[in-house]
Amino acid sequence: MDLKEKELTYDQKSRIAALNDAGNRKSEIVRLTGIKQSIVYSFLKRYENWGDIENTRRTGRPKSFHERDMRKLSRC
């Protein structure tokens, strides 16, 4: 069973983006950062398409409790 990889930190993403912008090859970025090739390649693909290192909002089921509901519960 495969374990999910942890998300790249903001520092890691900014370093990868800076190395890419400096003209380093992808294989060189993998060697310099020590991050798996597939992770670096997929991040750079997303970075080149969107030009941003921030994570996109994830889809999924909306929260069933809103702030107002949580305040009501905390008063009980």
The per-residue pLDDT for range 14-69, each reduced to its tens digit, is 999 999 999 999 999 999 999 999 999 999 999 988 888 887 777 888 777 778 88
Segments making up each domain of the chain, as ranges: 7-55
Region label for 18, one of left (φ > 0), alpha (ψ between -120 and 50) or beta (otherwise): alpha
CATH number corresponding to 7-55: 1.10.10.10
Is residue 3's pLDDT more than 60?
no
Taking the C-alpha atoms of residue 30 and residue 21, their distance in angstroms, rounded to an integer, is: 14
